[in-house]
Amino acid sequence: MNVLVINAGSSSLKYQLFNMDTEKILAKGNCDRIGLDGHLKHKPVSNDKPVFDSPIPLPTHAEAIAAVIAKLTSDEYGVIDCLSEINAVGHRVVHGGRKFSSSVLIDQEVIAALEDCIRLAPLHIPANLMGINACRESMPNVPMVAVFDTAFHHTIPESAYVYPIPYKYFEENNIRRYGFHGTSHRYVSALAINELGGNAEGTKIITCHLGNGASLAAIKDGMSIDTTMGVTPLEGVPMGTRSGSVDPSIVDIIAAIENCSLKDAMDVLNKKSGVLGIYGKSSDFRDIETAAGIDISNGNPKPDADVDKKAALALDVFSYQVAKFIGSYIVSLGGLDALVFTAGIGENSPYIRRAICSRLNGIGIKINETVNAVRVSEFLDITGDDSIAKVFTIPTDEELVIARDTIEIVAP
């Protein structure tokens, strides 16, 4: 069975086509600048056909899906003969609100419920719906599944998801901690549990998904019991351009300083803050580490390199906040068996892993510096001697989780 995984944003649409008998990717790519001029990058993986990487008119998501299907089935760039070889479609949906605690088969009722979630994620859900609707129009007979970023965190207890604000906002308006990156936290924690012996019961794991967006999850017995992101993906640790948790009064203060609306002040926290806000020149950790005089291939300082103080400070603020949340989650879990690093930074930055873990030495978490400096794109046990918990680097694969959930629902 082949499953097409779709991750639709407001002006972009990423896709991967999986053969689920082998769990191998047949092709992948992304449509960019939808609604503007349009660009498609399509990469066949299962054969030697060339990459397509060119501007192509994409006025709406419907044309984007049509272009993806045309490439997947074309003689020159294709990996399947015809549309009927796509047996199911899995959609990444950012927010499932209070209603969705697991992946679901998409029908009219689900679409109506998603429309109800728009207020909680006004930028993301409409984009996800555009992707879903475009696929339903192009492939009306193909079953489709929605996989939610929030679903894995539905096991978080009330004490961790209720905000200390008037309770009516929870009861009447569904304002609570939801958490995001659920497919990633679920995937890497399951692999960590395997590594710990395979029995989820009794395990205490902290997963650190550190990419452009970053979140941590505390996972007990294989279930999320707390996570750093909240009702939106702005809360928690500092990120590429997002502030993470700050004093909420800052929004009001920035609005007064800039003489701008609260919405514009929120934009500052979402788009101009995080490590970009401190360093000022880039949100990309490779740039920031390099500016701070770090050799990104091994995480060590380069001899005689210039050190940009703001770049070094941005890295310090980031690793301090991540370490602080790890410490607090050890309290939530009542101990720790494994600390897991994943996503772009977590998988690839020996410097950041060391900067975080060195702050945890005092509570007995230690890494092996030599293994930590090895850069491989696979599972790595970087646990140091006498560490109280294992420390793993585990590459995430959110698309594979979506494809697996889709198969499980469509062909159980």
Question: Which of residues 236 and 344 has its CB atom nearest to ligand ADP in the complex?
Answer: 344
Q: Which of 150, 207, 232, 349 binds ligand ADP (CB under 6 A)?
A: 349
Using the rule CB under 6 A, which residue among 30, 183, 232, 348 binds ligand ADP? Answer: 348
Distances from the Cα of 131 to the Cα of 62, 93, 223, angstroms: 8, 10, 30
Minimum CB separation from ligand ADP for residue 148, in Å?
Answer: 17
The DSSP result for 183-220, as a single string, is HHHHHHHHHHHHHTTS--TT-EEEEEEESSSEEEEEEE
CB of 401 to ligand ADP, least distance (A): 14
Residue whose CB is less far from ligand ADP, 155 or 212? 212
User: Given phi > 0 = left and psi -120 to 50 = alpha, else beta, which region is 33?
Assistant: left
Of the pair 296, 314, the CB lying nearest ligand ADP is at: 296
Footprint of ligand ADP on residues 392-411 (CB under 6 A)?
none
Q: Is 183 in the site for ligand ADP (CB under 6 A)?
A: no
Cβ contacts of residue 303 below 8 Å, gap of 6+?
Answer: none
Structure letter (DSSP) for residue 300:
E
Dist. CA 229–CA 35, nearest whole Å: 30
Indicate whether 286 belongs to the interface with ligand ADP (CB under 6 A): yes
- Does position 312 bind ligand ADP by CB under 6 A? no
306 in catalytic set: no
Match 């990996």 to its residue by tokens: 79
Least gap, CB of 1 to ligand ADP (angstroms):
27
Residue nearest to ligand ADP (CB): 344
Taking CB under 6 A as the rule, does residue 284 contact ligand ADP?
A: yes
- Contact between 211 and ligand ADP by CB under 6 A: the answer reads yes
Residues of this chain, 77-116, that bind ligand ADP according to CB under 6 A: none
Are 383 and 391 in contact, with CB atoms under 8 Å apart?
yes
Closer to ligand ADP by Cβ: residue 105 or 123: 123
Does 345 bind ligand ADP (CB under 6 A)? Our answer is yes
Q: Among 27-35, 109-117, 226-234, 342-350, which window interacts with ligand ADP (CB under 6 A)? A: 342-350
Task: Give the separation between CA 77 and CA 44, rounded to whole angstroms.
Answer: 7
Q: Is 343 in the site for ligand ADP (CB under 6 A)?
A: yes
275: three-class secondary structure by DSSP? helix
Q: Which of 149, 226, 397, 405 is catalytic?
A: 149
Among 226, 289, 337, 405, binds ligand ADP (CB under 6 A): 289
Q: Using an 8 Å Cβ cutoff, are 237 and 228 in contact?
A: yes
Candidate segments 140-148, 155-163, 205-213, 226-234, binder of ligand ADP by CB under 6 A: 205-213
Cβ count near 287 (within 10 Å): 16
- Phi then psi for residue 209, to 5 deg, are -90, 100
Give me the torsion for CA of 101, 338, 295, 348, rounded to 10°.
Answer: -40
Residue 148 within binding range of ligand ADP, rule CB under 6 A: no
Interface with ligand ADP, residue 369, by CB under 6 A: no
- E strand or H helix at 134, and its extent? helix 124-138
DSSP assigned state of 120:
G
Determine the Cα–Cα distance for residues 211 and 395; give it in Å rounded to an integer: 12
Quick check: helix, strand or coil at residue 338? strand
- Which position among 240, 244, 274, 277 is part of the footprint of ligand ADP (CB under 6 A)? 240
Q: Which residues are catalytic?
A: 149
Q: Which residues bind ligand ADP (CB under 6 A)?
A: 211-213, 240, 284-286, 289, 296, 343-345, 348-349
